[in-house]
Structure 1
Amino acid sequence: MTGRGTQEHPHGADRLCEAGDRVYSRAVRRGRVPRRDAEPVPCLLELALLHPDPDDMDFLVPTAPQEVMTRLLRSMYDEVSQSHRRVGSAVAAFERYAGLGRQLRRSPAAGEGTAIRVLDGLSRIQAAMDEATQECRTEVLTVQPGGIRREHELSEGLHRALALRGRGVRMRDLYTHVARHGQGLLNYLELMGDAVEARTLDEVIDRLILFDRTVAFIPANADRTMALELRHPALVEYLVTVFERLWRLAIPLTAPLPDTGIEGISHREQSIAALLAEGHQDAVIAERLGISVRTCRAHIARLSETLGAASRTQLGVRIAQAGLDQPRQGPAVKAPLSVPGAPESRIAR
């Protein structure tokens, strides 16, 4: 049954087939379903969404949607370093299972607000961000992917940052290493003073903004004209955990990047070498490190020259020989430095 089910239903719990979704939804509503109802959809048993009723083996009972959500989040956590884009698909699946969970059991707090809200358009995103800023009282955590921050980009979120600082809110921001080279960011951080700590990594996940560990904003499409406002405690807690793990790996903005230990090879070139060893194309490497494709190719050319490689194939061999085929892990920082910084508090950019 496992082989046949896998062949006919090649999916996971985050995207059920139509037939499987109908049977699982019916099981959640009724508490159980006859075993014969699940025969056309063996995927439900293989994914442990249904299991035998210990009181009557002719029936199957559903795994609680809340437990399914926990599995999805745990799986996402394991893969976050490989593919941050999985966060978006987890949100979609989470919304589906959360709806089924409300059918199964409604808590007293179920009507206190929308756990996941889609914000369509820049004006709605800005309004929601302004509202969250006004409600925030203690902490803001942000992840800002991409490269050098431009002056006009940073200034658009200045009113929020100043309002937060005025109320004594503490802010922590994660950027890519490339952002260190932008004077606009340095000016912004100086203006904000000690209200913010900033750190950098070779690469970060997609844009994320968390207010008071109770509400989060993430992009909902590629051009960031749509966003998701998340207020479900379990999902927000998961995103906070992701942020904290990245924060411990990051390097304070005022601290120098670690030396590679290989003469003639910079920290960025070592990061590029690791991604080349994974088989990524130039455009993908550039996007992940927040640099242009042209800059990326210039670094690859210098890397080839330094390692004495005459071709891409030979470069791959030289990278392995030099021990550059492993991605760098930033050191855990025990005592955070008080570094001025400011969040780019606009998700749609």
Structure 2
Amino acid sequence: MSTGEPEPQVTATAHEHASEELCRAGLELYTRALREGHVTLQETALVPCVIDLGLLQPEIEDRTSLHPVPPAVVLPRLLRATTDAIAHQRRREVRLAEAFEPLMRIGSPQTATGESPTLSVLSGLEQINRSISQTMADAQQELLAIQPHTGRGAAAQGASLGRDQALLDRGGRIRTLYQHTLRHSPTVIARYEVLKGDAEARTLDEVTERLLIVDRTVAFIPASKDRTLALEVRNPALVRFFVTAFERLWRLATPMYPKAAPQPSLDGVTPRQRAIASLLVEGHTDAVVADRLGMNVRTARVHIAKLAAFLGSESRAQLGYLIGQSGILEQKGQGQ
């Protein structure tokens, strides 16, 4: 029955939001459509997102009704669109970095003398690897490298093998620092079985972030946690600092290749367990201990349990006290 007042018009503008978003009202309508098998076209007027996202489709026989598309079909399609958008932005980032690199050189005050900028930002793994390869191709003397455990597979190792061997063939030298956890890594061992020339490797409990120093004139360091950004450093003072840090770590490290030195076990406590004990005393969690020593959390907890059993600890708090009383950390310092 009419009241004499005009009925409110249903318009899409009454519920505005981005077309790629699913609002609460749209989700409720889609949920009801899944339960009941259909909804009317009129019900979607205020929630156009269900149509824009392809959640509902017209019935073939009845154009006034819409049936729901199964969630198992919709979700992968929406996720794929998101993935494609992210990939597009990453490609745009790389293109911008490549386009601006020569412009940054023009803007550098050093270009008037023909010198390269002392710091360059490298974006994307492709650009980073290309810059390292170009620098290595000109190297004649030495590569100093720190390679922490980052889950790099055989493919990543193989990519650097050719350029490293080329340096050795030119009479150059390569020295690399790893963590102790990589002393028996099949990928690392295979690398030194293939390389021919003056290549050495040593290991430590902990190492710094990845570092490459070429001919003591150029250094490469990560500039982001996911390693998709890097800095190419040509500043002499900074490169000297990196070389000094490397040399000090090298003197403290245990030889691994070409002649491996054994890691002695003192009073039944292994060097790895002593490294773990040192971090536990500092108050670090199992996850931090594992990350610092380049192992997974499960392996770290196995070593912690063995250490606790050896010292007779019944709790985490007691373990820290017993480590301090046992003197094993002092033994570590004497062993080095």
Report TM bin, short chain. 0.5 to 0.7
Q: In structure 1, how many angstroms separate the alpha carbons of the residues matched to 2:334 and 2:142?
A: 24
Q: Secondary structure at the match of 1:193?
A: coil
Answer yes or no: is the 8 Å Cα contact 2:143–2:174 preserved in 1: yes
Q: For 1:314, which of 304, 313, 318 is the aligned residue?
A: 318
Q: Give the TM-score taking structure 2 as reference length.
A: 0.63
Structure 2: which 5+ residue stretches go unaligned? 1-106
Any residues of structure 2 matched to 1:32-47 within 5 Å, and which?
A: none
Root-mean-square deviation (CA, aligned residues, Å) is: 2.4
Equivalence map 1:6-17=2 (5 Å): none
Structure 1 residues 156-171: aligned runs within 5 Å = 156-171=159-174
In structure 2, the partner of 1:261 is 266
Contact 1:116 1:230 in 2 (8 A): yes
Note the alpha carbon deviations across 1:95-138, whole angstroms, 9 max, x for none. Answer: xxxxxxx99xx889864111000001111101101110111011
Query: CA deviation digits over 1:194-225, x for unaligned, max 9?
Result: 32011111111100000000000000000100
Give the Å deviation of 1:256: 3.3
* Paired letter, 1:276: L
**Matched residue, 1:285:** 289
Matched, 1:300 2:301: no
CA gap of 1:321–1:148, structure 2 versus 1, over 3 A, is farther
| 2:251 matches 1:248 | yes
Shift, 1:187, TM fit:
1.6
Stretches of structure 1 that go unaligned for 5 or more consecutive residues are 1-101, 333-349
**Is residue 2:191 matched to residue 1:188?**
yes
Counterpart residue identity of residue 273, structure 1 = A
- Deviation of 1:267 after TM superposition, in Å, equals 1.3
Pair 1:185–1:107, CA change in 2 (3 A): closer
Distance change (3 Å), C-alpha of 1:194 and 1:149:
farther
* SS of 1:171 mapped into structure 2: strand
The separation in 2 between residues aligned to 1:147 and 1:180, in whole angstroms, is 15
1:108-187 equivalences under 5 Å are 111-146=114-149, 150-187=153-190
Q: Distance in 2 between matches of 1:326 and 1:229?
A: 39
Of 201, 223, 229, the residue aligned with 1:198 is 201
Match of 1:67 in 2: none
- Identical-pair percentage: 45
User: What is the deviation of 1:290?
Assistant: 0.6
Higher relative contact order (CA 8 A, sep 6+): 1
Aligned-partner SS, 2:196: helix
The 1-side partners of 2:244 and 2:164 are apart by 23
Aligned residues: 228
Taking the aligned partners of 2:174 and 2:246, their CA distance within structure 1 comes to 13
CA deviations over 1:61-110 (Å, ceiling 9, x no partner): xxxxxxxxxxxxxxxxxxxxxxxxxxxxxxxxxxxxxxxxx99xx88986
Letter of the structure 2 residue corresponding to residue 161 of structure 1: D
State which structure, 1 or 2, has the greater radius of gyration over its C-alpha atoms: 2
Distance of 2:188 and 2:160 partners within structure 1: 12
> Kindly tell me: are residues 257 and 121 of structure 1, through their superposed partners in 2, closer, same or farther at Cα, counting changes over 3 Å?
same
- Residue in 2 that maps onto 1:55: none
Query: Counterpart of 1:238 in structure 2: which amino acid?
Result: F
CA-CA distance at 1:185 after TM superposition: 1.2
Larger fraction in helix: 2
For 1:238 and 1:329, the matched residues in 2 are separated by: 25
